[in-house]
Structure 1
């Protein structure tokens, strides 16, 4: 037997071993009458015992366990279940680290500015912004890491957080993680969606309490800097009352808590693929599409009301309305087990989460001080 024949034998043996592992799971939902293989791909010919959605949902978890994925096809009058190994892309951890370091620096610059530091004249005073950096990174990082941990718990593939350095008044555009592959169930969709806002809001409250107990020194605004008057959401006002804070100037750490609440509000808008969109889709199924359709229009009307009736700056709501209009137009992908509804505990948690998000709402989040 030559070398090529031995390779073929090993390939055939591996295919048979794989079939023996996967076959018990497949026959639960698919009557098999023939099996073929081409390279590492297996073709099961037969008849589905359930609809396509249920079939792929039932097979997703056991196939994932062995590193395989499946596709159900109908060709030339017969059903074919195609099973093949999933290619594992290498994570570029260095990119996450570089973005983290860059965001750490840009937020520290903004934090130093909040303390009135002129970095051109006193570059070594940059570290005065460290408290703001630690606070805002904790708020944003806890949000994304909660998503990541819950996604991995449900067997979903997710990247580590990518922080986004950006020259805004907080030095960042936040952080994101990337999901790869389908969502296995409405339960997984809900758990992943709700974990981020709850963890981020918990950290925001903690940071706010710490910040309100810190004394903000009197600082002179830097020449050319823009000052903002912040609108305080009900949750922030409640915490202020609780700790007895009466000062007009917020410590940057408390401001990081305010930012966390505002980010939580935006993320919990029930539209598209925002966290609120995920939660609502898991709670209501496809009926959530109606609310997702209405949300950008509600935000647009809110912006118009603020601009023309209150004579204030409502551009933020116009901007988010247009953004959601674009991103919610594509709809929300269905989880594999879409027919299995959520339990009552998760429904209650979802309602509480939306209420907490509403407590982070303020009609005029910020306006420039002339």
Structure 2
């Protein structure tokens, strides 16, 4: 009886192996000449010789494997190429974490918004709701940026989490939002589309929020400098909007200030370095040549900070901080897309150039002017 059970298990395992192999074998043999197959539990090992460039093999196999709930890795071990295929581990989404962080960020931004409106929360805590206009504005600016990344990543079949908002006791009550990508980048088009979507959508919402804020009544608003202890330096894009709306002066409604924050965030995200959005876009446009520009950005930012501090006698430490940050952040390089040799079309190149121009219009040498 025991022998019969053992034989049954072996036969079942054999059929499972044959079924697994039959599902993917035709796709593998297009790019990989297989001469031996091994199995260890749920993992299949295909030993063989690449028929194409090793960089493009996984690009060809990613879609058919992903559609069947599998993932693959090509390795070169002990003089042999081996393609390792295993079931894809599905990460369970803890949506309650996203929701909890969102609610907490709404609360922290509302506190900051209420301060900007001059509310004394220590004596009148219910005036916290005065900060709702700023909360709606800043959450729209930051949320639209990340949701654009999320939507474009899902469009290209990439695995990604919902946005995680980061509540933090800064002058706006948050450190922004992030999403977590899982798995490889299919190709340079996907890398470009995902990278460019966030800054463009976020900047569009920032412009809309700025226009709305500049048209709001300032009579019930205290000077922002009283609560922030600094005056914001206006980038060219913000100044152009002010002129178009017909509003002058450095004091801003909190909603307009949220638009300013969105422009500053767009600028930082579009720095062409590492895995910032600008780094994604540049890597997609130039391929591996982008690494040279990425490595230069920390030096450029350091020189800008040095110039602002010693020549303009202004606060340039933000650029020194980002130079140091990018030195570590960009040093790891940028992961290559699976289809790295397929170049972008002219339309995407044009959109990329326009995006960097818009990012430059969000730049100002002195973004923060401390109140002495």
Is TM (by shorter chain) over 0.5?
yes
Instruction: Determine the structure 1 residue equivalent to 2:319.
Output: 317
Tell me the CA shift for residue 5 of structure 1. 4.5
Tell me the CA shift for residue 145 of structure 1. 0.8
Listed as ranges, the matches of 1:280-295 within 5 Å are 280-295=282-297
Instruction: Determine the structure 1 residue equivalent to 2:365.
Output: 363
Q: Contact (CA 8 Å) 1:113, 1:222: kept in 2 or not?
A: no
Query: What SS does the corresponding residue of 2:282 show, helix, strand or coil?
Result: helix
Once structures 1 and 2 are overlaid, which stretch shifts more, 17-26 or 222-231? 222-231
Q: Contact (CA 8 Å) 2:224, 2:231: kept in 1 or not?
A: no
Q: Are 1:255 and 2:254 counterparts?
A: no
In 2, the alpha carbon distance for the partners of 1:316 and 1:177 equals 24
Once structures 1 and 2 are overlaid, which stretch shifts more, 30-39 or 274-283? 30-39
In 1, the alpha carbon distance for the partners of 2:224 and 2:329 equals 38
Instruction: Determine the structure 2 residue equivalent to 1:244.
Output: 246
Query: What SS does the corresponding residue of 2:284 show, helix, strand or coil?
Result: helix
Listed as ranges, the matches of 1:68-217 within 5 Å are 68-217=70-219
Tell me the CA shift for residue 221 of structure 1. 6.5
Q: In structure 2, which of residues 48, 51, 60 is the aligned counterpart of residue 49 of structure 1?
A: 51
Q: Contact (CA 8 Å) 1:29, 1:48: kept in 2 or not?
A: yes
Q: TM-score, normalised by structure 1?
A: 0.95
Tell me the CA shift for residue 77 of structure 1. 4.0
Q: Give the unaligned 5+ runs of structure 2.
A: none
Query: What SS does the corresponding residue of 1:160 show, helix, strand or coil?
Result: coil
In 1, the alpha carbon distance for the partners of 2:353 and 2:224 equals 44
Q: TM-score, normalised by structure 2?
A: 0.95
Q: In structure 2, which of residues 9, 22, 30 is the aligned counterpart of residue 20 of structure 1?
A: 22
Tell me the CA shift for residue 220 of structure 1. 4.9
Q: Give the unaligned 5+ runs of structure 1.
A: none
In 2, the alpha carbon distance for the partners of 1:219 and 1:131 equals 12
Flag the 1:322–1:51 CA change in 2: closer, same or farther, 3 A.
Answer: same
Tell me the CA shift for residue 204 of structure 1. 0.4
Q: In structure 2, which of residues 209, 234, 238 is the aligned counterpart of residue 232 of structure 1?
A: 234
In 2, the alpha carbon distance for the partners of 1:294 and 1:77 equals 38
Tell me the CA shift for residue 154 of structure 1. 1.3
Query: What SS does the corresponding residue of 1:294 show, helix, strand or coil?
Result: helix
Query: What SS does the corresponding residue of 2:30 show, helix, strand or coil?
Result: coil
Tell me the CA shift for residue 140 of structure 1. 0.4
Tell me the CA shift for residue 3 of structure 1. 5.0
In 1, the alpha carbon distance for the partners of 2:249 and 2:51 equals 67
Residue-by-residue CA offset, 1:105-127 (whole Å, 9 max, x unaligned): 00000000000001011101110
Deviation >3 Å, runs of 4+: 1-11, 74-78, 218-226
Query: What SS does the corresponding residue of 1:27 show, helix, strand or coil?
Result: helix
Instruction: Determine the structure 1 residue equivalent to 2:355.
Output: 353
Flag the 1:54–1:247 CA change in 2: closer, same or farther, 3 A.
Answer: same
